[in-house]
Amino acid sequence: MNHYYKTGQLDMSDRIAIETGICRGDSFSKIARRIKRHPTTVSHEVKANRTYVRGHYFMGNDCKFVRHCAKTGLCDKACPYNCRYCKGHNCREICDRYVSTECGKYNKPPYVCNTCPDKKLCHKTKYFYSAKYADAAVTRRRSESRIGIRISDEQFKAMDELITKYVKKGQPLTHIYAEHENELPVCLRSIYNYIDAGEMTIKNVDLRRKTSYRRRNGKKQKKNYLQAFREGRTYTDFLEQAKHSSIYEYESVEMDTVKGRRESGKRLLTMIFRKNSVMLLFLLPDGTAESVRKVFNYLEFGLGIDTFRRLFPVILTDNGSEFKRPIEIEYNDDLEPRTSVYFCDPMASWQKPHIEKNHEFIRYVIPRGKSLDPYTDEDITLLMNHINSVKRPSLGNKAPYELISDDDEDMQALMFLMEMDLIPADEVHLDPSLFKPR
């Protein structure tokens, strides 16, 4: 019967079994049967990962005659010094009288001194096998073997030029990798490691997300209180409805606004479909509830009431002043119901994570604090198309637009109304230079 059927690398439990077997005096064959390995695997493991303990010898020399040796001139006949004190040459290699006193037991199985009865009093060089230290040694060697660049100079140069070209256009690394995966000789994680190590032309400062995240300071949430417009529309109500209908969880649309300058001026109304991450951008003349109502009326008029209801069954938004008239969003001018509005808890932006995450794409092109007044509807449509053409790992390395199927008539109608078009991957541009200087 063949007992040695287990394959793969040894793990900590295997090494503990080996150490235990050695301390019990078991043969390598017996230990191997216990861990379902071949005896040569156990032998190699012990010799490769045993711990070396240096012996204590007179003058650091293990020669039998070192205490009374008076030889001189082994390396140079004119040298007057005793050879046993010489640090420049090893007398063990050049002396014909050298006789080693080292113990040779560790050259035979079990190749270690774990079970030697004389190990406590022995001052000679020893080897021990410890599962803990052996596993640490293997982990260290494995880690060191992965350090550095393991592709040819030509491959690295081509990869560096390709990535630098598109990063300078404002494209995220995930988008670049999704589009050019077959051209890149390493994985996305390795590219990040090369940048961290300073091996590539671009640096961490060129990667927006590396420099934009701030450390959380653990501020306490403000006490939540119920405002009149939120009654029956809280996040708790949203979750309660989600228990009974998947529409609330997967078909809902998150909504928010993006400001230019805080005090006044134009703003962006943003919406995102949870099911495909397609984000809509609307340029508002101001931050009033009336401007938001006009956007919903425009969408209903352009799509038709039935299509609008299917696309926007539930709206999840924050507590901004522009959303404090939810009745005007939920009902059209003829008082026909068209959607349902729910509000996140105050200071809880994580309850609508998709829209908050996608706002960073807007800030790539329009930095925080820059006024939105110079921009036109055509500019915002162009920005929307570039954002929705970015490939993302969370979407299977596809862009949001690519998830819209040809037979999805509702989304196709929305794309026609909003002039939404897929931008070729290599032409995606997420940088302030997308627009002319303003």
Nearest to 128 by CA among 14, 35, 46, 41: 46
Residue with tokens 């949430």, as numbered in its chain: 221
Number of domains comprising the chain = 4
366 in the same domain as 341:
yes
Residues 133 and 79 in one domain: no
- Residues 3 and 140 both lie in one domain: yes
Q: Is this prediction's pTM over 0.85?
A: no
Confidence of residue 219 (pLDDT cuts 50, 70, 90): low
Report pLDDT digits (tens) over 225-263.
Answer: 457 778 888 988 888 888 888 787 788 999 999 988 766
Please report whether residue 31 resides in a domain: yes
| DSSP of 91-109 | HHHH-TT--B----GGGST
Q: Comparing C-alpha atoms, which of 205, 184, 203 is closest to residue 195? A: 203
CB 340 within 8 A of CB 255: no
In a domain, 218, yes or no: no
Distance CA(438)–CA(64), nearest Å, equals 88
Burial of 422 (0-12, 13-18, 19+ CB in 10 A): middle
pLDDT for the residue 260: 81
Same domain, 306 and 420: yes
Query: Dihedrals φ, ψ of 161, to 5°?
Result: -65, -40
* Residues ≥6 apart with Cβ < 8 Å to 142: none
Residue 71 and residue 208 in one domain:
no
Could you tell me if residue 37 is inside a domain? yes
Q: Are residues 172 and 247 in the same domain?
A: no
- Nearest residue to 51 via CA among 14, 20, 19: 19
Provide the domain limits for residue 93: 58-100
Query: Residue 58's pLDDT is what?
Result: 83
Same domain, 26 and 158: no
Percentage of the chain exceeding pLDDT 90: 47
The answer to whether 355 and 255 have CB atoms below 8 angstroms apart is yes
Domain harbouring 280, CATH code? 3.30.420.10
Is 203 among the domain residues?
Answer: yes
State both tokens at 31.
């230990």
- Per-residue buried b or exposed e for 389-410, using 16+ beta carbons within 10 Å of the residue's own CB: bbbbeebebebbbbbbeeeeeb
> Pairing mode, if any, of strands 340-343 and 314-317?
parallel
Percentage with pLDDT > 70 across the chain: 93
| Predicted local distance difference test score (pLDDT) of residue 73 | 81
Q: Are strands 126-128 and 267-273 parallel, antiparallel or unpaired?
A: unpaired
* Residues 140 and 246 both lie in one domain: no
What is the pLDDT, as a whole number, of residue 262?
A: 66
Side by side, the strands of the sheet bearing 267-273 are 279-284, 267-273, 253-259, 314-317, 340-343
Within a domain: 354: yes
**Both structure tokens of 59:** 């003058």
pLDDT digits (tens, 9 = 90+) for 20-29: 999 999 999 9
Calculate mean pLDDT across residues 291-302: 93
User: Is residue 261 domain-shared with residue 172, that is, in the same domain?
Assistant: no
What's at 218, amino acid-wise? G
Residue 130 shares a structural domain with residue 168? no
Same domain, 407 and 396: yes
Q: Which two tokens stand for residue 288?
A: 């009033």
Residue 146 CA to residue 123 CA, distance in Å, equals: 38
Beta partners for residue 271, in sequence order:
255, 280
What is the helix (H) or strand (E) element at residue 126, kind and residue range? strand 126-128
Pairing of β 51-53 and β 126-128: antiparallel
Q: Which residues, in sequence order, are CB contacts of 66 under 8 Å at separation 6+? A: 57, 58, 59, 84
* Among candidate residues 280, 289, 273, 284, the one with its CA nearest the CA of residue 327: 289
365 DSSP 8-state letter = H
Looking at residues 388-402, what average pLDDT do you find? 92
Do the domain assignments include residue 113? yes
**pLDDT tens sequence across 145-196:** 777 777 888 999 999 999 999 988 888 898 999 999 999 999 998 898 888 8
- Residue 137 is predicted with a pLDDT of 93
Give a yes or no: residue 217 inside a domain.
no
Q: Which H or E element spans position 322?
A: none
Domain match, 364 and 410 both: yes
In a domain, 298, yes or no: yes
Mean predicted lDDT score pLDDT of the chain:
87
Q: Cα 243 to the chain's mean position, in Å?
A: 32
